[in-house]
């Protein structure tokens, strides 16, 4: 009796009514129209005339831009990872005046347009009339229109991503494990490396991948601070725009395709790594 009742209930849960199909179709259509179809067109365009990809990869403007993007992304991700872990620990584990304001400010880079970020950095570090710019220029350090400026702009826009992944996890795990480790003789660094880090590693990895993807794709802020000098301060996204405007659509699509490929690959790798660990 009870068995059949349970069986019936399970069946009714699993039963596919017309509504189920309607809901699924809606979701699939939405995603297709908005994301899958347009992005796949980029891939189609890349391969449609056969040699766009090879053509793009033989263009030094493209290869140098991609190399610059990789370097800038690496720096931005490293900076945001280290800074993100420290800041997350700070806002979760310590109470200090202005903590909530600080926490709110951390979302600013996500809510402000990247163009504004670029302008702000230009104002602060510009070589001629920036606040620090002239002094740094005298010391022989140029920030705007060179790699450091691009790294700063990229790090700025992707700053909250690691932190927003870490904070909920840190709040969830609490401090008991860390205190237990301390009472067992572990110092602060040992506690972090052996207890805190393993507990947050998946959130951290996910945050890193998100900021990686964000950094690869940054356009507005970088366009302003870089000066967009071909083969010197032009990143991959800037090349895409340039080539598109210069009627080299094939190269533009191929570069765009490469950018997408890296970001998707990173997300896929993480998605496949994660469940394996959880099943253990």
Which residue ranges make up the site for other proteins (CB under 8 A)? 176-177, 179-187, 190, 194-195, 198-199
Residue 14 or 185 having the CB closest to other proteins: 185
Sign of torsion over alpha carbons 75, 147, 213, 49: negative
Structure tokens that stand for 119 in this block = 């302008």
User: Smallest distance, Å, CB 190 to other proteins?
Assistant: 6
User: Smallest distance, Å, CB 199 to other proteins?
Assistant: 7
User: Smallest distance, Å, CB 194 to other proteins?
Assistant: 8
Residue 38 or 198 having the CB closest to other proteins: 198
User: Smallest distance, Å, CB 280 to other proteins?
Assistant: 8
**If DSSP codes are grouped into helix, strand and coil, which group holds residue 143?**
coil
User: Smallest distance, Å, CB 138 to other proteins?
Assistant: 46
CA distance 136 to 142: 7
Q: Which residue has the tokens 């493209």?
A: 62
Residue 151 or 203 having the CB closest to other proteins: 203
User: Smallest distance, Å, CB 86 to other proteins?
Assistant: 21
Residue 177 or 249 having the CB closest to other proteins: 177
What is the SS3 assignment for 80-131?
HHHHHHHHHHHHHHCCCCCHHHHHHHCCHHHHCCHHHHHHHHHHHHCCCCCC
CA distance 264 to 50: 23
User: Smallest distance, Å, CB 202 to other proteins?
Assistant: 11
Residue 165 or 218 having the CB closest to other proteins: 165
Residue 24 or 274 having the CB closest to other proteins: 274
CA distance 221 to 154: 7
What is the CA angle 13-14-18, rounded to 5?
95
Q: Which residues are within 8 A (CB) of 67 and not within 5 positions of it... i.e. 6 or more apart? A: none
210 burial via Cβ count (<10 Å: 0-12, 13-18, 19+): buried
Is residue 273 within a helix (H) or strand (E), and if so which, with residue range? helix 249-279
Residue 197 or 229 having the CB closest to other proteins: 197
**Nearest CA to 65 among 264, 243, 269, 246?**
243
């Amino acid at each position: 009796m009870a068995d059949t009742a349970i069986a019936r209930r399970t069946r009714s849960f699993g039963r596919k009514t017309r509504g189920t199909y309607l809901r699924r179709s809606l979701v699939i259509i939405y995603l297709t129209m908005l994301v899958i179809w347009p992005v796949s067109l980029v891939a189609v365009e890349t391969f449609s005339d056969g040699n766009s990809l090879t053509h793009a990869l033989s263009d030094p403007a493209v290869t140098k831009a991609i190399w610059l993007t990789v370097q800038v992304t690496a720096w931005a991700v490293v900076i945001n990872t280290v800074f993100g872990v420290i800041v997350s620990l700070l806002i979760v584990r310590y109470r200090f005046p202005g903590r909530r304001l600080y926490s709110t400010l951390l979302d600013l880079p996500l809510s402000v347009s990247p163009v504004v970020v670029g302008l702000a950095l230009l104002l602060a570090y510009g070589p001629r009339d920036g606040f620090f710019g002239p002094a740094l220029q005298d010391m022989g350090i140029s920030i705007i229109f060179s790699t450091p400026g691009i790294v700063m702009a990229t790090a700025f826009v992707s700053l909250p991503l690691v932190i927003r992944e870490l904070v909920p996890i840190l709040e969830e795990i609490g401090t008991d494990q860390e205190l237990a480790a301390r009472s067992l003789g572990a110092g602060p660094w040992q506690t972090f490396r052996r207890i805190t880090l393993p507990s947050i590693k998946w959130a951290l990895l996910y945050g890193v991948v998100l900021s990686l993807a964000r950094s690869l794709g940054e356009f507005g802020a970088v366009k302003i601070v870089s000066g967009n000098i071909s083969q010197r301060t032009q990143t991959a996204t800037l090349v895409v725009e340039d080539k598109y405007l210069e009627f080299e659509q094939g190269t533009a699509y191929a570069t765009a395709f490469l950018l997408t490929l890296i970001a998707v690959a990173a997300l896929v790798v993480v998605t496949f790594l994660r469940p394996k660990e959880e099943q253990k």
